[in-house]
Structure 1
Amino acid sequence: MRAKIFGGLVCLAAAACLGLPAIAADDDGDKPKFKTKEVMKEAFKGPLLKKVAGGDASAEDVKKLHAMLVALSKNEPPRGEEESWKELTGALVKAGKAAVDGNDDAAAMLKKASNCKACHSKHKPS
């Protein structure tokens, strides 16, 4: 009986150890891949967000936009309260994830979440 329990625990521990690199690869930690200025220039001022929201983007473009929105949410707000920053960027990340998943509401979610004035009035540096 003890041997079976011990064997089961060893298998469980081995499975957990094998899964750790995959989990670590999904989450690059707290360090964002893109700076806020990069996201603003490429995604919002550039064509990326419009292409994805309009349904004209490739799967690669959709994934890149989502990665940029995740990075934006991990960046520090240039000014204003962090709680507001997390709320606004969280909506963007959720909309980006919906686009990656092929959700029919993704375009509307992206258009609503990417309201420039809502974020800039609270967080854009002077």
Structure 2
Amino acid sequence: MVQKSFSLALVAAFASLTVYMPVLAAEESDEPKYTIKQVMKEAFKGPLVKKVVAGDASDEEVKKLHEMMVAMTKNTPKKGDEESWKKLTTALVKAAEAVKEDKEDGVAMLKKASNCKACHSEHK
């Protein structure tokens, strides 16, 4: 009886790991979830950044913006210095995190970091 219970517990633990591990791998993957083009279309040209800055975005939209900014750091632009790209996209991630965590200066950080000309002059 003890051996059967142990076997069932072991099978249950293994089953839960096989379900949970792909989720972890997807979150920590080096592959970007969104392309630069997708982020530009949905976040910057689309309404997402504007909604977040205006305070009209849902928690889900704020989370998506953060995911998009993280994806930007994992993408490689067509041109420009890698160090510059890292600096600019890291600022976007930090700003999106600040908004996501409801920090007082989050929106101001996002406004400053989402300066289109700063990225486009070097990386587009």
Q: In which range does the TM-score fall when normalised by the shorter chain?
A: 0.7 to 0.9
1:46 is matched with which residue? 46
Deviation at 1:23, TM superposition (A): 9.3
Deviation at 1:53, TM superposition (A): 1.1
2:12 is matched with which residue? none
Report the RMSD for the aligned CA atoms in angstroms: 1.9
1:92-107 maps to which residues of 2 (within 5 A)?
92-107=92-107
Distance 2:57 2:104 in 1: 14
Structure 1: which amino acid aligns with 2:106? A
Q: Give 4+ residue runs of structure 1 displaced > 6 Å after superposition.
A: none
Distance 2:78 2:87 in 1: 15
TM-score in terms of structure 1 length: 0.78
What percentage of aligned pairs have identical amino acids?
A: 62
Deviation at 1:21, TM superposition (A): 4.3
- Unmatched runs of 5 consecutive residues or more in structure 2: 1-16
1:1-126 maps to which residues of 2 (within 5 A)?
21=21, 24-25=24-25, 27-124=27-124
**Aligned residue-pair number:** 106
Q: Give CA-to-partner distance per residue, 1:15-61, whole Å, 9 cap, x none.
A: xxx8x949935733110000000000000000000100111110000
Residues 26 and 99 from structure 1, CA distance in 2 versus in 1: closer, same or farther, beyond 3 angstroms? farther
TM-score in terms of structure 2 length: 0.79
